[in-house]
Structure 1
């Protein structure tokens, strides 16, 4: 059975959250040359048609799956929010499973993901939680089903791997936004509306630099336009020399991360630079740097990132509320975007097509 009717709440109410350090779970990828970094990108990377899925409408069926970590009781609020959009929310058959720090075995998590993409009645796929695990199953993704029936896909953090694979394999626009395992302190009415607009309307998304964000200290003046691609910095770095790292030539690179030290930001960006992945980017949009430890007398995360990106010769805009921090906003990945450091804005073209009702 591919899915079950989803009730608000978790089975038995006894699913517990588990805080996992991704750094302890994901081994740093081996250094790769520029040729290897680009090898996974299609030869026609700049010319293939970009696919925007149909906008979700009230009454559409959507599926919640857990390709990575185990969801907890906060899943109930995320379900209520999606239902508040008028969507009919279903659960993957193994949504409530646990296998160590993973939401079920690799086989079961992959089966749920492929069932969601393979069901023609499902119009949207929402990730329950991040953490770690998507890399373990991504090579089994049913790409024929993805290409046959494109649909809205929402997730962030560990789901950067899925977004990258969808882009490389199908040029499918996805959405870098909150998991269904919704966090009250991070997501209020404005953030709920940001998600709704991104997946249910064809309005552009405009984000303004928030000077209170630690990443707001990173800046290189200028204006740049390109397709917004990227996501979580850890996942981008560990995707080097795989089919999950997008070809970033001409792109606006989006990065954000959490629980990483200044030297970790330095190391990850240095790896991407040495691998040639950032060689011809158009600009960089920087989301949130949350829970970055600060050591007296040493660089902050923002200072380390400024040092690494400042010499690339492209505009850089920090302070965007995208990522793991309070006030998380939703942006499409794969549509054209413009960063304007003078206006302190990131403007992203819509990621869905509004299809007239039959």
Structure 2
């Protein structure tokens, strides 16, 4: 981060405007947008679609210039109090150098999204503005409402049946919670200048390819020095790797091999990431990892 950390965004109130936009790919079905708008409206908010939310250019929601225009218009408008990504996909990293972080610092607004949106979350991290790693859908969507409108704290318990639950060690650790999708975190090394020293790192991944994806991404973060000074690691969903092996190794072997010798507490089995019902987790705010109790406690992202 650079400069003074801005205050937390103000909690949303009924009647506030929220912009739904597509910084990555476009929503494949209109009903997904309609469901998202209906959910936000049911919270008493006034959701709006950005001008280019349904644009299509290959696998991306329009040109870089148009997607940046949507982001900047939402950030400049004092009546807009939060931004919600319609989906992830691909293409958000193309926006990071064109995004005006001063707009965020002048008027902090949370961004809700995950997966490819992790690239933009690093810009929010650089500006010192919290985000929600999650989405307004599934069984936990009301938690997003409470996070944004009530300033709720977030507690996530380890799921003993989750693939990564066995990575859990012992001990406790505290720090600002950072991270997100593992591949996108690695892709932003050298692109967005942020520091995670003294932080808790959250990682999760979907299986677009084999174990090499996880190995290369974590190795890049280690070799770049990005993991130096972490206080702990929170491991979200790697469920898409269940049942997959490469020459005798599973994803747990890869994660153990690259995380164990960091010498910090690790809490696995946290249900955030690429799941049908992902738990939304605030990033950019203080949190406590308690590996012995199997829980993660995250402070509010709004004041």
Place the TM-score, normalised by the shorter chain, in its bin.
over 0.9
Q: Contact 2:210–2:246 at 8 Å: present in 1 too?
A: no
Is the contact made by 2:6 and 2:108 (CA closer than 8 Å) also made in structure 1? no
Matched, 1:233 2:233: no
- C-alpha separation in 2, matches of 1:296 and 1:257: 17
Change (3 A) 1:294 1:89: same
The yes-or-no answer on 1:172 pairing with 2:121 is no
- Are 2:225 and 1:276 aligned? yes
Matches within 5 A, 1:14-53: 42=2, 48-53=4-9
TM-score normalised by L of structure 2: 0.94
**Residue 127 of structure 1 aligns with which residue?**
85
Distance 1:211 1:223 in 2: 18
> Deviation at 1:202?
2.1
Q: Residues 124-273 of structure 1 correspond to what in structure 2 (within 5 A)?
A: 124-168=82-126, 170-178=127-135, 182=137, 187-188=138-139, 191-243=140-192, 246-259=194-207, 260-273=209-222
Q: How big is the shift at 1:296?
A: 6.9
Aligned to 2:266: 316
User: Cα distance, 1:262 vs. partner?
Assistant: 2.5
Alpha carbons 1:218, 1:303 under 8 Å: kept: no
Paired with 1:64 and 1:311, the residues of 2 have a C-alpha distance of 41
What does residue 344 of structure 1 align with? 294
Q: 1:198 to 1:317 in 2, by over 3 A?
A: same
Q: Given that residues 284 and 317 in structure 1 are in contact (C-alpha distance below 8 angstroms), is that contact kept between their aligned partners in structure 2?
A: yes
In the TM superposition, 1:89-100 aligns within 5 A as: 89-100=47-58
Q: Secondary structure at the match of 1:229?
A: strand
CA distance in 1, matches of 2:245, 2:260: 22
- Looking at structure 1, the residues matched to 232 and 162 of structure 2 have their Cα atoms a distance apart, in angstroms, of 19
Unaligned runs of 5+ in 2: none
Give the structure 2 partner of residue 29 of structure 1.
Answer: none
2:33 to 65, 75, 89: 75
CA distance in 1 between partners of 2:28 and 2:40 (Å):
17
1:66 corresponds in structure 2 to 22
Quick check: 2:101–2:123 contact (8 Å CA) kept in 1?
A: no
Q: Which position in structure 2 is the counterpart of 1:28? A: none
CA gap 1:50/1:316 in 2 versus in 1, 3 angstroms: farther
Bigger shift: residues 85-94 or 217-226:
217-226
Superposition TM-score, scaled by structure 1 size: 0.80
For the pair 1:328 / 2:272, whether they are aligned, the reply is: no
* Equivalenced residues, count: 299
Query: d(CA) in 1 for partners of 2:180 and 2:246?
Result: 29
Q: Distance in 1 between matches of 2:99 and 2:266?
A: 34
CA RMSD of aligned residues (A): 1.6
In structure 1, distance between residues paired with 2:220 and 2:84: 30
Partner of 2:177, secondary structure, is strand
| Counterpart mapping for 1:267-306 below 5 A | 267-292=216-241, 294-295=244-245, 298-306=248-256
Task: Provide the C-alpha distance between the structure 2 equivalents of 1:265 and 1:217, rounded to a whole number of angstroms.
Answer: 17
CA-CA distance at 1:345 after TM superposition: 0.2
- Helix, strand or coil for the counterpart of 1:89? strand
1:116 is matched with which residue?
Answer: 74
2:238 match: secondary structure: strand
